[in-house]
Chains A and B, each alone.
Chain A
Amino acid sequence: DQQVKQNSPSLSVQEGRISILNCDYTNSMFDYFLWYKKYPAEGPTFLISISSIKDKNEDGRFTVFLNKSAKHLSLHIVPSQPGDSAVYFCAARKGNAGNMLTFGGGTRLMVKP
């Protein structure tokens, strides 16, 4: 049972436009959500996170929105840059901080110059 889903395996966006990556989850016990960026043959790099008590968190070009009632979160990148091309994973955590992360399947973002 996949508790965290990223239904779009890939996304192509023009440079300068907005990239919107979506993530859905099923477990209502998740209380903390994170986005990671991953290049091939490298480990994931943390981008941005959000606690379930918030509905928005912004850091530079990256904004994460959380809709708890819909069990949906999204990552907005604006403006998109070619260097943003990578695979993006959303991850969720439940309970205390020592618990593991559950990852979505990833979305490959391609930003075209």
Chain B
Amino acid sequence: GAVVSQHPSRVICKSGTSVKIECRSLDFQATTMFWYRQFPKQSLMLMATSNEGSKATYEQGVEKDKFLINHASLTLSTLTVTSAHPEDSSFYICSARDILAGEADTQYFGPGTRLTVL
């Protein structure tokens, strides 16, 4: 099946620093990628939809200046958490939609990135 990778898998940073998370579709092209955040024992919350070659669409309540998203190519989207604070500590998961998948059109999820801000 389709594979989506995320890098890094785990990152610890100091408060005030910025962290970049990469999401790559390894064997398919993805015009659309999604970024989710999962708090402990809670569901996946969509943060933003990343569209190749255009600006990301952010969900209500998500600060676009804090969570910068860039979708530079059909296989790569990046999420940068700027000036991270302890409350940004979370599990961030990306997913990618295969443009050739047709009706089934499932999203393929990355393995997630655990961010801990000290």
Q: Which residues of A come within 8 Å of B, CB atoms?
A: 32, 34, 36, 41-46, 49, 51, 89, 97-98, 100-106
Tally B residues with Cβ within 8 Å of A: 27
Partner of A43, one of B46, B93, B103: B93
CB atoms of B44 and A103 under 8 A apart: yes
Most chain-A CB neighbours within 10 Å: which of B1, B32, B43, B91? B43
CB distance from A104 to the nearest CB of B (A): 6
Contacts of B112 in A (CB 8 A): 41-43
Given contacts A89-B43, A104-B43, whether A43 and B111 have CB atoms under 8 Å apart is: yes
Q: Which 3 A-B pairs have the closest CB atoms?
A: A43-B109, A97-B105, A105-B43
Given the interface pairs A42-B111, A43-B112, the reply to whether A34 lies near B106 with Cβ below 8 Å is: yes
Contact B32 A98 (CB under 8 A): yes
Which residues from B are CB-within-8-Å of A46? 1, 106-109
List 9 other contacts, CB 8 Å, given A97-B105, A105-B43: A43-B95, A43-B111, A89-B43, A97-B103, A100-B49, A101-B107, A102-B46, A103-B43, A103-B45
What distance in Å separates the Cβ of B92 from its nearest Cβ neighbour in chain A?
10
Q: Are B111 and A101 in contact (CB under 8 A)?
A: no
B34 touches A (CB below 8 Å): yes
CB < 8 Å neighbour of A41 from B44, B91, B97: B91
9 A–B contact pairs at CB < 8 A?
A36-B109, A42-B111, A43-B95, A43-B110, A43-B112, A44-B44, A89-B44, A100-B49, A101-B107
Enumerate chain B residues within 8 angstroms of A45, measured Cβ to Cβ.
109
How far is A105 from B38 in the complex, measured between Cα atoms in Å?
11
